[in-house]
Structure 1
């Protein structure tokens, strides 16, 4: 077994996703999820050597307990001997970071400073980093940022039409997210479709519980749908996406909402969940819509309309379209969503191939349209591999 393994950690507020990746082969040696960390019965589910196991954790300082148990598991399986680095997903890097970096005291301080822009995410990411530093003190730790890929956006794309002082003094601007995913699938598209990276126009649609679209010109992000936070842009599982800011004033003045209630409404009670009043799970909504549930059908219609409209808008910064990529849980698996979106974009020259669209599900990659350019293609994302590859490259430079 080669010493080319990286432990990838994605630490959320109540969960910890992990994987050990062999960067030479790109394969997952170990993968799993520690969940319910803020609840009474936290546990770890993992897969190793083709088998799935569950470990029940003691309630306590949840993230530290989970990482301590993960360390014990890694050592028990003998995988610690082959680790060369720990790679951490960090949601928000602000303007500090345009690429992955070795974690130092200065980097930690910058991530802490940026926490005001991502109060739900960065503090949890920091918990994972600090716990991993204590557990794997001899290994280099690397931060890979969701926002880094979008730092190539020009000012006309990332600035809001607000007083300029809010940007200069407080960093209020559009940052974008899902950058690691958009980078990976666009890189794959260049290879699979034999596109010239110095002369290419790609729209990448990452569709899951969170959704975003990126305009990628000549391999660089020039615009994206998410903004200061992951709330802006498309309709998502429970997030509203774009709405009239005047609604905030109405909610406060007329309905007496508090800021906390507004945040809960827009982030947890809206999107597919809010419109359908059934679920945030696209599979549940598609099934209900097929059985005649009108609000489920409406939720799908709004989701697809807004998505198609955003994709079409990104033909402006790109100056045209060579390829449209679908990725993420919905993008990779919902032939229904893809069909509705591609149908709405037929004026761009996209024509769906029904058989190819049906075949490109459940991890299968493939072009789903009849023409070679422009085309729509399904490419399963692999953010963990990007994090592992970046982390290994930085570790090997030390």
Structure 2
């Protein structure tokens, strides 16, 4: 089955046309920095710079370069599935309405996920569309990890995100260790414009840093991550600020360094910008805290896996995040860590008790696999 995967993020759209049976990637590309003046569209080997005003404009540009290609299915990454969606589902109007109702829980993602679905429906009206939910992987969280200490009648819980990435990376990390996934304990650090840490025990998510919404946990591009819950009331009383908006769109690296993209933050720090240097230290300190916490949750850690754009490509973030964890058996080898590579690899020292891995995520393959499973009932793994 030929599956067009649309991974519509908060500021990007990734796409791939994948033959799930053979693994062939027939087309792929990425639109970055949507809504910014310096947008970029990379399709296969070519790159075009320009401004893509919104996600619909980016998706239309993608469909234009795909031309007459007609997939047999379209798989969409959808960030929040709430309590209802615990696996991938074939899209109908009821599913779209449910995804839209969940938008307050993922305001940067669910609305643009629906945009992707609508554009694809118009382009391929007779092709099945499948929604693959980031939250589904984390429905294995035990009650003590998923439950907030708040009134029950609020009906809230920790959901977790980046589930498709975690599912793929966990399986590949176990393979790198030469072990079955059911035998290993892992901490997956998905670091991109959004960022999360997940504790995985025998292939099951048992704790994760994002919660009811993608705002909780690590420092991100424009999201604050963990803050004092009293901050919202304080900002409303003293500044008249909408905390939801400010903590989602105006915080994180953007607030600390003036830019949301870690590549730009790193360059500014290397050029001597103290705000950018502090931003990287805050970012890495938060990661280090979660690694220590999840080490305690798991009791034994076999590997820490870095993934996502920052996790895969920023050796400085990897090194700073793992600094001081030697007593936990976590040691990075500087030569391995700094060596340029796009491959799966270990960057830990030879005598490190815990393997530190870089595992390039392949959410598109995972989405394609789950798309086929939702349509046929047969897993392509």
* TM-score over 0.5 for the pair: yes
Higher Cα radius of gyration: 1
Cα pair 1:85 1:139 within 8 Å, conserved: yes
Q: CA deviation at 1:55?
A: 9.5
Shift of 1:9: 1.4
The one of 368, 373, 381 equivalent to 1:393 is 373
In 2, distance between residues paired with 1:368 and 1:35?
Answer: 28
Question: 2:41 aligns to what?
Answer: 45
Structure 1 residue 34 displacement after superposition: 5.4
Per the normalisation by structure 1, the TM-score is 0.85
Distance 1:210 1:353 in 2: 26
Q: How has the CA–CA distance of structure 1 residues 275 and 37 changed in structure 2, closer, same or farther, with 3 Å as cutoff? A: closer
**Superposition deviation, residue 184 in structure 1:** 0.9
Aligned counterparts of 2:128 and 2:38: Cα–Cα separation in 1: 28
Matched, 1:273 2:265: no
Deviation for aligned residue 1:56: 9.2
Distance 1:106 1:296 in 2: 45
C-alpha separation between the residues in 1 aligned to 2:100 and 2:191? Answer: 28
- The answer to whether structure 1 residue 232 and structure 2 residue 232 are counterparts is no
Secondary structure of 1:198's partner? helix
**2:281 alignment counterpart:** 301
Q: 1:31-54 CA distances to partner (integer Å, 9 max, x unpaired)?
A: 234578779x99993524x44467
CA deviation vs aligned residue, 1:326-358 (integer Å, no higher than 9, x gap): 111111111111111222321210121111111
Q: Distance in 1 between matches of 2:317 and 2:10?
A: 30
Is 1:208 aligned with 2:208?
no
Task: Give the corresponding residue for 2:228.
Answer: 244
Verify the 8 A CA contact 1:44 1:66 in the aligned structure 2.
no
**Deviation digits for residues 161-203 of structure 1 (CA, Å, limit 9, x no counterpart):** 1101101xxxx22111111111111110111111232222100
TM-score when normalising by structure 2: 0.89
| Larger CA deviation: 233-242 vs 321-330 | 233-242
Change in CA separation of 1:162 and 1:14 when aligned onto 2, cut-off 3 Å: same
Count of aligned positions: 377
2:317 aligned residue: 337
Matches within 5 A, 1:1-398: 4-11=1-8, 16-33=13-30, 45-48=41-44, 50-52=45-47, 63=56, 70-71=62-63, 73-76=65-68, 79-80=69-70, 83-167=71-155, 172-254=156-238, 256-259=239-242, 262-276=243-257, 278-359=258-339, 361-370=340-349, 371=351, 373-397=353-377
Cα distance in 2 between the residues matched to 1:54 and 1:299: 28
Q: Give the secondary structure class of the aligned counterpart of 1:110.
A: helix
1:340 is paired with a residue whose SS is helix
Give the superposition deviation at 1:381.
0.7
What is the aligned-residue RMSD (CA, Å)? 2.8
Aligned 8 A contact 2:38 2:49 in 1: no
> 1:84 touches 1:139 (CA, 8 Å); kept in 2?
yes
Superposed displacement of residue 158, structure 1: 1.3
Unaligned 5+ segments in structure 1 are none
Q: CA, structure 1 residues 348+109, in 2 after alignment: closer, same or farther (shift >3 Å)?
A: same
Displacement of 1:389 in angstroms is 1.7
Spell out, residue by residue over 1:292-322, the C-alpha distance to the aligned partner (whole angstroms, 9 max, x if none): 4333222222211111111110122212211
Task: Tell whether the 8 Å contact from 2:55 to 2:112 is kept in structure 1 after alignment.
Answer: no
